[in-house]
Amino acid sequence: MPPRADDGLASRERTLLAALLLSLWAPLATGLAVLLSRSTTQVADFVRRSAELVAVALTLAVVRRLRRRGDLDAAQRAVLERVAARGVAVALALSGAVMLLLAASRVRSFDPGGDVRLGLLIAVMGLATNAWFWRRFHALTYERPDALIDAQRRLYRAKVAVDACVIVALATILWAPGHPTTRWVDLAGSVAVAVYLGWSSWRTLAAGGRPMRPPSRDSTS
């Protein structure tokens, strides 16, 4: 049996496993929060977190296969890396499309309300966790350029931006549920998130077809 080529995959696998385990609770908790409120942003956030969980699981599966199959040549590894990167891009695009459609369907006949405190707490915790993983994947990509990890870096950067938008929208509902502008802030939060997710999906697909270059140590792009 040929030796297994690691290429730093062990640390990447551990980071992805930690990211997956910490992401498992998010769709369940967000789903419960949706039942307690009537926020468009929160429903969209539930769909988004579910799709992102699948994307992280797919990347972890590919990294594990690469680590255990040391006999794969460069072309075979590239194919697996593209599959995982496309999985991340599809998750981002799907989440964005669902958010946009949901916001459009509620423009005329929706008033936000309900108890959004649980959803707000989940978003704040998610922001802190996702920011840590974003920096971790950034550091891993800087140390050794890797299309798989770079896709996760982009995914978690998008997650941080989305969490920030969700926090603003839910905080507005919590503090001023009856204000006329609250409805539009909630819907605008979904639209902003959808646009950003679509842009991130396109960037991830575009990056998958180019040779990897490490990001600068302090860059957030």
Q: Is the pLDDT of residue 211 over 60?
A: no
CA-CA-CA-CA torsion sign (8, 10, 13, 18): negative
Task: Output 35 or 16, whichever has higher pLDDT.
Answer: 16
Number of neighbouring beta carbons within 10 Å of residue 113: 15
Average the pLDDT over 152-167 and give the result: 85
pTM assigned to the model: 0.74
- Collapsing DSSP states into helix, strand and coil, what is residue 114? strand
Q: 9-208: which CATH topology?
A: Alpha-lytic protease prodomain-like (1.20.1510)
Inform me whether the pLDDT recorded for 90 exceeds 80.
yes
